[in-house]
Structure 1
Amino acid sequence: MRRPTNRRSVLKSILAGTLTLGISNRFFALSAENNLNNETVSPLKGNINHSVARWCFKDIELETLCIEVKKMGIRGIDLVGPKDWPLLQKYGITSTMCNGAEINLLDGFNDTQFHEILIINYTEMIPLVAKAGYKNLICFSGKRRGKTDEEGWNNCVIGLQKLIPLAEKHNVTLVMELLNSKIDHKDNQCDKTSWGVELAKRIKSENFKLLYDIYHMQIDEGDVIRTIKENHQYISHYHTAGVPGRHEIDDSQELNYPAIMKAIAETGFKGYVGQEFLAKNPDKLKSLKEAITICDI
């Protein structure tokens, strides 16, 4: 994932900001909205709850994206912050993985020098997530920077345990994403399922879970289906993308997504599977619809 830095000042500007739309985009979105009830919504099987990562479709105006994904039967958009929640709510779309409290993907809970700002950010954001009716708030371990696994776990526990009581009070889940350290996020510490699971065991709260990114974990460890089946109780969200290249999840890549989706469904998972691929096809919405069809087992 590639998301902007969010320190306290940025967080405050996000919370205070209002959505601004270009006239042409606004006109297009309103026209599409007026015709939305006349469009046929794609019938989905209901075994998988589908969402899509906002940043992968950042060149599509958000209101247009809301309209188009709703037609596909997609129920949520991942990685959307507070200033855009009202727009999602307008179209009945859920913010399935909230963001905006993290500093960035590099400076996370495994390093105590970042705890002060992280505690401030998450303390402010958790009640906002709950007030909006959402559940998941993303977080990151950060880069290893020479720390042993034990040092990383201990530091994460120190920081996260200061937030867990607040998360439990508001029924918000702090969700740490598993990111590969081989290709995309060099030196990331939470780069294996086993590392994230051990952290979850130490925190001992249902309000801390993992975001199992299928693309990232195929790169760093493989054995995707068995890993999901053995560790599903620690996972609250999934992301997809094709391997190699992080593009469409079609037959040009190595993962068998229908089989993976079947395995996820068999665990009794009721959360969301978010499409997080970078489309090579210029018609990105067509690629998204095809991905939903592939994953709708």
Structure 2
Amino acid sequence: MGRTAASPTARPVTAADWIGAARLRTLPLAVAPVVIGTGAAILVGDVFHWVLALACLAVAVSLQIGVNFANDYSDGVRGTDAHRVGPARLTASGRVRPRAVLLAAIAFFGIAALVGLAVTVRTQQWWFVIVGLVCIVAAWFYTGGKRPYGYNALGEVFVFVFFGLVATLGTTWVQAMALPQEAWFGAVAAGLLACAVLLANNLRDIEQDARVGKRTLSVVIGRRWTQVLFTAFVLLAFAISWYLAFFYPVAWLASLALLAAGPAILIVWTYRTPRELITALALTSLTSLAYAGFLFWAFVA
């Protein structure tokens, strides 16, 4: 299926529409691993390399926004988003030319590449170039290309690896040139919470995705197991913080993030309409940011 043609009476696209398409509610998933990774780096080196930390943040956020625009483009031209429940996408609405959305994705991938190259030059870790290329290629083929792996139940693998392990461990290595076990624990936790957000998103779209042949993990395992997996991912992340709290007592405060995670779990299990899951998604995303902040505090205290 192709994209929907724009209605001659459709309202003009505004800056707010573009900002909405960037899906700001997902940005905590890019910020959280950088916060955790920076905390682990300070734990090792007892120094805050704020310029490198900000550079890592710029790379992570740019990649996240690039992925969001790339998904908007790829899903839109396939017709996958024609009847989605969540906020309208630019491409699927027909109000923006697909090429413009594609260029937006390329622009943000380009920003991530340039900042990443600057970090590479600064640290002389030239193998970062390969890591960066892999990240961008993986981001594109999540929903792009002839056989996107996001359409074959592998989206959670991508999110866990790149928005959990790579983002967190890469941030720590850039600043400390070491990977303490605290960084690994934090990376796993960040990845689990990011996967939980994706599960909430895919649970919301499960019926539409099944109709158009988009085989997300939720489509493959069904609604009930998605609810179970979502809950397990969230609780496992908190179990990691409880373990770390025996060595870094401030980590107990990460449990306060359950004030957002608890309602998200409740919504996932009791929702009556798919639209309710948008709230669960936002709460889980907020959980990841609060969790990361408390873990950072625990590491530097």
TM-score, structure 1 length as denominator?
Answer: 0.27
Q: TM-score, normalised by structure 2?
A: 0.27
Greater helix percent: which structure?
Answer: 2
More strand by share: 1
